[in-house]
Amino acid sequence: MWFQQVMFFLAGAGALGGAIGVVTLRNPFYSVLSLVAHLIFLAVLFLLLQAEFLAAAQVVVYAGAVMVLYVFVVAYVGGSDEPLRPEGGALRVLGPLFAFVLVVELCIALLGSSLGLIDSPGTDVPAGFGTPAEIGSLLLRRFLVPFEAASYLLLVAAVGAVVLARRRRGLEEQEVGA
């Protein structure tokens, strides 16, 4: 199992490094790229947790589709030499404050529950855990209502995008006409 442990630390370090890169890098293009790296390392962590389907979905949906759009937009309009300027004032105070609150919350959660489990080998996973079939039956039986609600939300978002795009095209036509 030493291989899994090595992979865990590599992927964990990669995910952390990617996440730190997102917030510290000045160039938005590199920032987006380190987010991509972060998501891929997260997928590796999912693989180590036997969640193959989740890992593949993570790469396909986030690294492969959502981040492609980010990269696309940033490469077009980001301006590679233009650094993101930090917002002054309130954010400078509020940001660390919220981060601190989050750290405290996580510490409470960790101390309260799972620290004792770190030395144990962990629970056994049932056969078929994390396979598409298993996740599919969970989504369509136990979690049917949330699943359908989420898909309805996506439908609304898609319709909204179409409406917004049409409205903007209408404006352009007016400008051309005038």
Partner 1 sequence: MSGTENTLVQIVKAIVIFAVILQIVPFILIAERKLLGRFQSRLGPNRVGFRGLLQPVADVLKLVSKEQSVPVTAVPWMMALAPLISIVAGVATLAIIPFGPPGAWGGDFGLYGIDVPIGLLYFFAFGSLAFYGLMLGGWSSGSKFSFLGAMRAAAQLISYEVAIGLSLLGVAMTAGSMSLVDIVEDQSGMWFIVPQFVGFLIFMVAGFAESARPPFDQPEADAEIVSGYNTEYGGMRFGSFFMAEYIEVVIISGIATACFLGGWRGPGPEALGPLWVLLKMSAFVFLFIWIRATLPRLRYDQLMSFGWKILLPLATLNVLVTAIVLVVT
In the complex with partner 1, the residue whose CB is nearer, 97 or 144, is 144
Q: Does 98 bind partner 1 (CB under 8 A)?
A: no
**CA–CA distance, 77 with 79 (Å, rounded to integer):** 6
In the complex with partner 1, the residue whose CB is nearer, 76 or 113, is 76
For the record, the structure tokens of 70 come out as: 């980010």
CB 58 within 8 A of CB 39: yes
Q: Which of 13, 56, 57 is nearest to 37 (CA)?
A: 13
Binding pattern for the stretch 103-132 against partner 1, x by CB under 8 A and - elsewhere: ----------------------------xx
**CA–CA distance, 142 with 147 (Å, rounded to integer):** 10
For the record, the structure tokens of 140 come out as: 């369509």
Q: Does 133 bind partner 1 (CB under 8 A)?
A: yes
Q: Does 64 bind partner 1 (CB under 8 A)?
A: yes
CB 125 within 8 A of CB 50: yes
Q: Does 29 bind partner 1 (CB under 8 A)?
A: yes
In the complex with partner 1, the residue whose CB is nearer, 106 or 144, is 144
List residues near partner 1 by CB under 8 A: 29, 33, 36, 40, 43, 52-53, 56-57, 59-60, 63-65, 68-69, 71-72, 75-76, 131-133
